[in-house]
Chains A and B, each alone.
Chain A
Amino acid sequence: MRILVIEDDADAAAFLVKGLREAGHAVDHVLDGATGLNMAEHGGYDAYVIDRMLPELDGLTLLEQRRNAGDETPALFLSALGEVDDRVAGLQAGGDDYLVKPYAFSELLARVEALGRRRAPTNTMTKFNVGDLEMDILSRTVRRAGRKIDLQPREFRLLEYLMRHASQVVTRTMLLENVWEYHFDPQTNVIDVHISRLRGKIDKDFDRALLKTVRGAGYTLSDED
């Protein structure tokens, strides 16, 4: 993916850029909003990572201008402002995701990669498959190797999210935000327990595990090893 990082904190940005490059992405970095807008206008990016508070031109305005110009490149806001209202402002300005500082790099990477995938038309897809696991959104059925698997509604939504982001790392926070719509971190390992329940249903009776734990980051649903 080609990623444009607009972040005025040079140290934080250097770390971010290095990490994204190591994950195999091509990254451009600028330090202020005006330059960022200029770079974005030249196009060709798969995702933007924008700090909300930038010199010259703030992040919200920058993205609003791009959106008005018809640019639909997915964008993730980084911000120290983390209240629900702040998130709403970020999403209203055209942001696709919102990450509050301080954040773990693994969280950011997972979210940026999830954004890149959003360009693929998963939103309109009604059938997914990972390996021999199949999901039909319309009939709300899940099969593995042709065998029907019964899931609770929430388990279904959890699996759906994982399937839409197959082969990507999905963090616990992403699951909590997207499947349960909560923006706080429970101190109990509630997500892990849900994942292990789901695993018991889709992986337990099969040789090959599809739902894998990614150490220090989260989970991924994939057929690869």
Chain B
Amino acid sequence: MDRSDQNNQRKTNMFLRLIRTTSFRFALITVSLFMMSVMLLGAFSYRATIGAAIDGVELQIDNEFQNLQKIYKLRGFGSLRGTIGMRASRQNRLLFNPYSSDSLYIFIDAQTKDLVIRDLEEVPSEALKTDRMVEFEYRRDRKNLDNTYLEPEDYEIRYAIGRLERFFNPVTGEQEAIIFLARDISELVSIRASARGVILNMALGTLVLALLLAFFSSRSFLARIDAVNRTAEAVRAGDLSQRVPLSGAADEFDSLARNLNAMLDRIERLMMGMRQVSDNIAHDLRSPLTRIRNRLESATKEPDTDFQEVIDQTSADVDRLLATFNALLSITRIEAGEQAKGKLQKVDLISVVNEVMELYEPAAEDAGFTLLTDLQQTPTIMGSRELISQAVANLLDNAFKYGHAPGRSDIEPRIEIKVAPRIGGGALLSIADNGPGVPPEDRDRILHRFVRLGQSRSTQGSGLGLSMVSAIVRFHNGQLSIGNGLANQQAGVAPAGERSFGLGVRIAFPSSPKKLLERIRDAGSEPRKA
């Protein structure tokens, strides 16, 4: 198949799809209804104008026949014939006549079958078969009314309606005369023709316009559906970065697109997380496993192995692996734990922090840290005591591990835990140390799983502590920020720069929705001040 065929095929497909769309079908129905109403309107206005005018003419003919019957009955055949003779156009063209020149007569003597008086060549054949009114064409010459020979350009085709009526002798019952009486309606006919044309054109115009409208509206409808489809196909094919384009019209399609895009954003984030985790698992679990395997292999080969030592080292490695594994599982579950949010309880941050402090205080003292606290009463937040405790514990673990300023015996290592109400509701929890800190460019990165900065690679740990904190904060709809901690230089010793601070981790918890509702209710129930 060559290109133009393909193109044609695509066009045909496009056309088929177009006419199958809902909007196209809807448009078709609209078109039909529209056409019908245009036709009805045309029919009514035709009846009311031209139809009525023709009816009027018919009525005149009927009236004149009644008149003629009266004359015939009162005065007889001769008088009837005389009346017709008076009225007939040919003889009376130039005379004043109440029956205008539009009237056409043929008087037939029923005995002799002669056309005694005639305005027309003959009775139209349609009229012979019936007593009803018929419409017919006749020729009328333009110049000489008496001229019997007419050139084609000397006459014109006119239109008329008329009918036959028979006249019977009231005494003998014999048929004595037949009169054909007609009226010229050429003007009406030409108006009628143009009216029909107008109605037809209106209907056709409506059809064309409506079809065009249907075509374009379906096409834009299709184009937007196609945009969604293309995005869905690309995503299905694995390109998660595709998004449905917005038209900017802020209509239902845009809100659909926005919802789909938000959904894709979330899926992409989850997928990225998964990918990152599997990469990191591959890296961070494989190396201790390799270590274990090598150790076991060499233990079986070398004759004088201290098996106890091998076993102890291996157990320690396996325990670390299990710890990493558990931490990963916990993070995944916390991140997937949207459904657990219904079971959040009221949490008093101060008591949570005090309990964790109580657990960590002896260890901090042993490690040479001074724990400082600044705990202010905050609004109760909705959350999980267990998870918030774990976040605080992880941050303390980290501070213990990295909070020592290396080679600075003049600095007394300190960790400060603060709890404070947050402006605009909610609570703030921060843990700061006066250690070496983290350079600003690395601050986002340390929240990622398994990320451990250069100098910390040597210490023990999974690199999951902060990412778990981050997951816990997200679970609480809170915000986590990494910033400066406590000053790690004594005042006046060196100019204060970025690196003269330890690490500070700040968690902002949102105010509980219930609290907000209570506050709104309270505000509503307060007596109004004048």
Contact = CB atoms under 8 A, between A and B. Distances in A.
Contacts of B465: 187
Contact of A187 (B330, B333, B366, B397): B397
A25 B319 CA distance: 26
Interface stretch (A26-34, A69-77, A188-196, A206-214): A188-196
Contacts of B359: 180, 182, 186, 190, 194
Interface string A66-94: 00000000000000001111000000000
A185 interface: yes
A82 B384 contact: no
B360 A188 contact: yes
B393 interface: yes
Nearest to B315: A216
A184 B393 contact: yes
Nearest to B356: A182
Contacts of A24: none
A172 to B, nearest CB: 11
Interface in A154-211: 154, 180, 182-190, 193-194, 197
Contacts of B394: 187
Contacts of B390: 182, 184
B298 interface: no
Contact of B322 (A102, A154, A182, A193): A102
A185 B358 CA distance: 16
A193 B323 contact: no
A85 B390 CA distance: 16
B326 A185 contact: yes
A83 B330 CA distance: 8
Interface string B402-425: 000000000000000000000000
B401 to A, nearest CB: 8
Interface residues of A, number: 22
Given A187-B465, A194-B362, A82 B323 contact: no
A23 interface: no
Contacts of B333: 82-83
A84 B366 contact: no
Contacts of B319: 104
A141 B326 CA distance: 39
A189 B363 contact: yes
B360 A190 contact: yes
Contact of B362 (A84, A183, A185, A197): A197
A131 B151 CA distance: 151
A212 B259 CA distance: 61
Interface string B311-332: 0000100010011011001100
B326 A83 contact: no
B340 interface: yes
A193 B315 CA distance: 22
A186 B325 contact: no
A102 B315 CA distance: 14
Contacts of B389: 182, 184
Majority SS at the chain A contact face: loop
A184 B468 CA distance: 12
Contacts of A104: 319, 322
A188 B319 CA distance: 14
Nearest to A187: B397
| Interface core residue of A100, A182, A183 (most chain B CB under 10 Å) | A182
Interface in B293-347: 315, 319, 322-323, 325-326, 329-330, 333, 337, 340, 343
Interface in B152-169: none
Contacts of A82: 326, 329-330, 333
Contacts of B396: 188
A190 B400 CA distance: 11
Contact of B343 (A85, A183, A184, A190): A85
Contact of B386 (A182, A190, A194): A182
Contacts of A185: 323, 326
| Interface core residue of B355, B366, B460 (most chain A CB under 10 Å) | B366
A84 B334 CA distance: 11
B340 A102 contact: no
B510 interface: no
A197 B364 CA distance: 13
B461 interface: yes
| Interface core residue of B315, B362, B363 (most chain A CB under 10 Å) | B362
B325 A188 contact: no
Nearest to B355: A180
Contacts of A102: 322, 325-326
Contact of B384 (A84, A100, A194): A84
A218 to B, nearest CB: 13
B362 A188 contact: no
Contacts of A197: 362
Contacts of B315: 216
Contacts of B397: 186-188
4 shortest interchain CB distances as A-B pairs:
A193-B362, A187-B397, A193-B363, A184-B390
16 contacts: A82-B326, A82-B330, A83-B337, A84-B386, A102-B322, A102-B325, A154-B358, A180-B359, A182-B386, A186-B393, A187-B461, A188-B360, A193-B362, A193-B363, A194-B359, A194-B362
Given A104-B319, A185-B323, 12 more contacts: A83-B340, A84-B340, A84-B384, A102-B326, A182-B359, A182-B389, A186-B359, A187-B394, A187-B401, A188-B363, A188-B397, A190-B362
